[in-house]
Structure 1
Amino acid sequence: MPREKIKFALRISPETQQLVKEMCPRDNCRTQNEFIERAIRFYAGYVSGQEATAYLPPALASVLRGTVQDTENRICRLLFKLAVELDMVMNVLAAGMEISDDALRSLRGRCVQNVKKTSGSITLDKAVEYQRGGV
């Protein structure tokens, strides 16, 4: 059973009517009416999307802000745990090693330069190699 359609007057420019005639077959529409109805539905969706953009950016920003905040909190907790473990390792090493203040200052300077040079990508293997007299 076909849906009931209403009839109303529509005034369009000759250029628009020519465009409808040209585009109707390209859109596989059997009639100009069908093409115009599809075009109206498409445009209505576009306009609705325009209204949604007034809501979406603040909502999206809020979601992103929450995600970034959660990630930041997680990273801070992990960095805190890492700092605790590093402090424990340093204290264990300090208790078992006899190192002069000058040697410690020199080592700190070398380590700062090494971290800068490698962008923090340092390994125990490289440190052992250096301590054994390697480069």
Structure 2
Amino acid sequence: MEKAKKIKFPLWVTPKTMETVKEMYKDDDCRSQSEFIEKAIRAYVGYLRADNSPGMLPNYMVSTMKAIVDSSDTRMCRMLFKLAVEMAIMMNVLAAYCDVEEESLANLRQECINEVKRINGTLGFEDAYHWQKD
């Protein structure tokens, strides 16, 4: 890939801005202050274009949203794992003390599937209690 030819031009910035460039360019893995400034210009142009194009999100926004979703997924997976462990314990305790015929268990499973579908998955203990008593 051919390297793009660069041009040299005067740049007027405040001393504070130049101090910031000197402090930050190595932190951004740039080889020079010019590379840092060029990256900053590209990032700002991308930001401006994203504001003018409502269908596009700026990269920083996409990466932030992805990090939030990934973190949420991780927490949810951990909670689902913990719930599965608790359910396994509960089912084993119940199975050890309940004498339920396989046919009754199959019927109960189908009734529970239908009930959970009907109430859109928001079954609480009180709901199950009242359902069993009716």
Task: State the TM-score bracket (shorter-chain normalisation).
Answer: 0.5 to 0.7
Q: Within 1, Cα distance between the matches of 2:48 and 2:63? A: 14
Task: Describe how 1:107-126 pairs up with structure 2 within 5 A.
Answer: 107-126=108-127
Q: Which has the higher helix share?
A: 1
* Post-superposition offset of 1:79: 0.5
* Post-superposition offset of 1:131: 2.0
Q: Structure 1 segments of 4 or more deviating over 4 A?
A: none
2:99 match: secondary structure: coil
Structure 2: gaps of 5 or more residues: 1-43, 51-56
- State the AA in 2 paired with 1:98: D
Q: Provide TM-score, normalisation by structure 2.
A: 0.58
Structure 1: gaps of 5 or more residues: 1-49
1:120 match: secondary structure: coil
Q: Within 2, Cα distance between the matches of 1:69 and 1:97? A: 41
Q: Provide TM-score, normalisation by structure 1.
A: 0.58
RMSD: 2.1
Q: Within 2, Cα distance between the matches of 1:73 and 1:54? A: 33
Percent of aligned pairs with the same amino acid: 35
Q: Does 1:94 align with 2:89?
A: no
Q: Within 1, Cα distance between the matches of 2:114 and 2:61? A: 41
Q: Within 1, Cα distance between the matches of 2:120 and 2:63? A: 32
Q: 1:53 maps to which residue?
A: 48
**Larger Rg: 1 or 2?**
1
The number of equivalent residue pairs is: 85
Q: Within 2, Cα distance between the matches of 1:98 and 1:53? A: 69
